Structures are given as structure tokens and as C-alpha cells.
Structure 1
Amino acid sequence: MLQVLVDLPEDRTDSVDIDRIAEVARAVSDALDRDDPVPGSAYELEVSSPGATRELTEPRHWRRSIGRLVRVTPVEGEKFTARLLEVAQDGVVLQRSHQAKKGMPARLLDPERWSFDRVRRAKVEVEFTD
């Protein structure tokens, strides 16, 4: 199994589209057919992107996710979900919401600044909207 992960340069904030994945898959497949690295061996080629729910491990990952919901596991405290508003060199600004009672509309809380060293893990959440 040969796995290739296609990502964008640091300065890009858009995402990898399916056409780019197909282009990379064709190029890698052609190169493998031309210059068989392990003659006589079969392989399976898998080309993908980090996906919609990628883990946020680098500041550039956070920048690409501005405006999205993120699930944060802090170094201390409980996990929470918040909207990513801003990204700086040393951290992010997140805005949580609070729903007092089931069925009531959620209320946005004040934005909070979180340094990267306070975040153990973070991942983009997929949102389904009407």
C-alpha cells in the first residue's frame, strides 16, 4: 500500500479539490509505472487529502479553518466546541455558545484567546445546516 497525502502550501487557506487529487494520483501512478521501484511487486495506490475533519496541529491548519467549528481538548479542563474567529502566531480566538435550556436558542459567549500551548488537541467539526 502506497499512501500519498496531498496538502496545500502554508500560504493557502482553501482546500484541496477532487480534481487536484485525481491529477496527483495520475502523476504518481504514471511515475510508478515508468520507474517501478520494486520490480515485479504489486501495490495499491491511495491518494487523499487531510479531509474536512483534519486535526489542527499547525498554525496553517488553524488558519484554513477560520469561521469553522472546532472541537478542542484543552491541556486542562473539559472538551468544548467553539467557532474559530482568529489565528495569531501564538494562538487563536474562539467563541463558544451556551444553551441554557433544551429548545432555547444558544447565546454566544465573549470570544476567548487560547494560546497553542493550552490546547492538547483540536479538530474541525463538520456542520450540517438547513
Structure 2
Amino acid sequence: MSTTQSERLRELLEPLAASKELDLEEITVTPAGKRRVLRVVVDSDNGVELDTCAELSREVSEKLDATDVMGDGEYVLEVTSPGADRPLTEHRHYVRANGRLVKFQLNDDGELTARILGIDDEGLDLEVPGVKGRKPTARRLDFGDIAKARVEIEFSRKDKKPSRDAEAGEDVDAENAEEA
């Protein structure tokens, strides 16, 4: 039974990512001149810190050096987190995008931009922004109706969520003033 290089890489690298509580999102091998680039994309519910990527990169490099999965040719290893514009394809991606504005391509060739308010196994509860002074409206969207989805980057969101300190009822400025 033959397996592809991608399947062998996933089988080899998934336990390494899981040991750091990361999801192995994507593995790609692309030619780059005389070399190849092995790109490993990882994510988690809390994001991925640079130090975690560096640690995982060292572990992946050691594991690959100990096997023949990449063959004899030279390659460059990149371990990274997904960009903000990556497509939402898995249930966990929608969970991580909760509260974010998302552009949906629908199976009926329609388009919808809305904020995710809730997620369950069947679909999403959304808030569709009002147009020309109208109030936002609620909408339910089943996962089966979604052809593509991608988070929209918001540079100046007016109704930002309160900070964690504010949610906990802590007055950060007052604490800092007392320390001074």
C-alpha cells in the first residue's frame, strides 16, 4: 500500500504538533529553484506564539533528519501559523472566528458578509450589518449552504469587545496608579 509524501509527513508531524496543543492545519511542499520548501501551518484556539513555532520547527527538523520522508534533495523548512485571510474550512476555524466579520460565498452563488455570533454543529448564528442607518439583523446559516468563507480584516471596528481586564471588573489604570 503506497502513501503519498503528504500523508507520510502528516502522520509524522501531527503528533509533534499535538504535543504542543496545536492543530496541524496544512502541509505543503513546493519547488523553489534547486530546493523545495516544506511549509507546515499550525494553529490553536489561543493562536500560536513565535517561540512555539520556533520550538516546533526544531523538533520537526530533527524528526525529518531521522527519516527519509523528504528524500535526498535539499529543502527549506517553514513552520508558521495561518494568516488572517485563510479560508474557514473546518468547524474549529468558525469557532476561532466567533465575533469576527466574515465574508461568505454561498452555494446558491450569493454572497453575505456578517459577524459570527454563535456556532453549533449544524451552522452559524450571524448578525448582518445594517445598511444606510438600518439596524443589524439576525440570520441563521447552515454549514451546508456555505461554499467558501474568509474572515474580513477590520482596522477600525467601532464595537470592539472589552478587554479581558475590563470584563473581569479590574481597573488597570487604577492599579497602575497605585503602584506608581
TM over 0.5: yes
Q: Does the alignment pair 1:41 with 2:73?
A: yes
Q: How does the TM-score come out when normalised to structure 1? A: 0.79
Structural mapping, 1:53-64, within 5 Å: 53-64=85-96
- Describe the superposition over 1:73-105 as per-residue Cα deviations: whole angstroms up to 9, x where unpaired: 1112531211110001100011111332xxxxx
- Describe the superposition over 1:10-53 as per-residue Cα deviations: whole angstroms up to 9, x where unpaired: xxx321222221111121123334x2626753111111122222
The answer to which structure, 1 or 2, has the higher relative contact order (CA under 8 A, 6+ apart) is 1
* Counterpart residue number, 2:136: 109
* Counterpart residue number, 2:145: 118
Equivalent pair of 1:66/1:84 in contact (CA under 8 Å) = yes
1:26 maps to amino acid? R
1:125 maps to amino acid? E
Percent same amino acid among aligned pairs?
38
Give the ranges of 4+ consecutive aligned residues of structure 1 lying more than 6 Å apart after TM superposition: none
User: How many equivalent pairs are there?
Assistant: 120
Equivalent pair of 1:2/1:46 in contact (CA under 8 Å) = yes
**Distance of aligned partners of 1:42 and 1:84 in 2 relative to their CA distance in 1, 3 Å threshold:** same
Q: How does the TM-score come out when normalised to structure 2? A: 0.59
- Describe the superposition over 1:52-83 as per-residue Cα deviations: whole angstroms up to 9, x where unpaired: 22211111110111001101111125312111
SS of residue paired to 1:24: helix
Structural mapping, 1:1-130, within 5 Å: 1-8=37-44, 13-33=45-65, 35=66, 37=68, 41-100=73-132, 106-129=133-156
More helix per residue: 2
SS of residue paired to 2:64: helix
**Distance of aligned partners of 1:16 and 1:107 in 2 relative to their CA distance in 1, 3 Å threshold:** farther
Q: CA deviation at 1:116?
A: 0.5
Unaligned runs of 5+ in 2: 1-36, 158-180
Q: CA RMSD in A?
A: 2.0
Name the CA distance, whole Å, in 2 between partners of 1:99 and 1:39: 56
* Counterpart residue number, 1:103: none
2:142 maps to amino acid? S
